[in-house]
Amino acid sequence: MNLLITGGTGYIGSHTVVELLKLNKNIIIVDNLANSSTKVLDRIKTITGKTATFIEADICDKSALDKIFSEYNIDAVIHFAGLKAVGESSQRPLSYYHNNVTGTISLLKIMDKYKVKNLVFSSSATVYGENNPSPLDEGMPTSATNPYGQTKLMIEHILFDLAESDSEWSIACLRYFNPIGAHESGLIGENPNGVPNNLLPYVAQVAVGRLAQLQVFGDDYDTVDGTGVRDYIHVVDLALGHVKALDKLSEINGCQAINLGTGNGTSVLEIVNTFKAVSGQDIPYEIVPRRAGDIATVFADASIANDLLQWQTTRDLTMMIEDTWRWQSQNPNGFDSTSSE
C-alpha cells in the first residue's frame, strides 16, 4: 500500500510514519518544513530500519501535488499538513486560512483527479467550541473561537459536503484532544519553533533550563485544584489511532468524525507535579490571569473510536511524561541538539 502523508515530518506525523513503516507500508512524505526538520527522517530510519520517501513541497502547490500523484500510485492519504498555533492564528489569520483551508482544497482536487478517495484527516477537539459540557461527543454542535479552530471546522464542513456529493469517498476526521509524550527511544518528539504554545513542551523546556518558569493561566476554575483540566493522550497512542482509522476506512461510508482521547482529564498542576516527580527537576511557575476563551474542563467521549476502530489508549500519564522527559533531556535543543546527532 502506498500512503501519502502530508506534514509527515511534524510531531504527530513522524510518530505515525514510524508506526506505518513498522507495518511495511510504503510511505511518501510531503512537507514544506515550515514547522519541522529533515533531521527527523534519519531518526525514523534509526527507529524502524526503514526509509520513507521524502518530497519537499507545499500542499498549496497543485502542480507539485499533481506530479507526486502522477509518479506514485497512491492508495490513501493521511493529511496532517497545516499551521497549528492558536495564538499565532489570531495574529496571522490569512496565513492560516490559506495554508490550512486552501491547501486542503488543493489536495482534495488532486485526490479527486486521480480517484484517490480514502482520507484520514487531522482535525481537533477545538471544533467543539466553548459551550459543550465534557465528555465531548461527536454528536455535539461545533463552533470555533479562533482562526485555527475555524480552519479545522471549515475543512470538516468541506469533507462532509464532499462525501455527501460523492459516495466513493471514505473519510475519517480524527478530532485530537491534547497530544503529549514522545517515542520511547527518545529519538523523536515535539520540537516547536520558538516559545512553545502547548503546556508539555513548555514544562519540559523549563525542566531542562531553556525557559525560566511556567505561567499557569488561572487557578480559580471549578476543578480539582483550580487549574484547567484537559484530556492528554500519548502521541504514540494517537499515531496508532491513525493506523486503525486507515484500516477501517473501507467500513466508513462518507465522512465520520471520531474523537481520539483517553476520556480522562488531568489538571495543569497535576501535570507539573508529575513532571517534577518523573524528572527530579524543579518546575518554577507563577499563577497569572485566565486567558480569554479558556474553559475549565475538556475531555473526550472516545466510544466511537473504541467501537468503530477497536482502538483505545494504553499509555498512562506517567508514561507520557517519562517519554517527554527522555526526549527533552536527551535533546535539550530539539533536533538541533549536537549531543544526540
Whether 148 is catalytic: yes
Of the residues 11, 97, 148, 202, which is catalytic?
148
Residue 150 C-alpha cell reads as 475555524
153 touches 127 (CB < 8 A) = yes
Torsion angle of the four alpha carbons 32, 327, 294, 233, in this order, in degrees rounded to the nearest 10: 90
Q: Cα(119)–Cα(111) distance, rounded to whole angstroms?
A: 9
CA angle 102/106/110 to nearest 5° reads 170
Q: What are phi and psi of 130, to 5 degrees?
A: -105, -10
DSSP E strand stretches across the chain: 2-6, 26-31, 53-56, 76-79, 118-124, 170-176, 178-180, 214-217, 229-230, 232-234, 254-260, 266-267, 285-288
Q: Catalytic positions, please?
A: 148
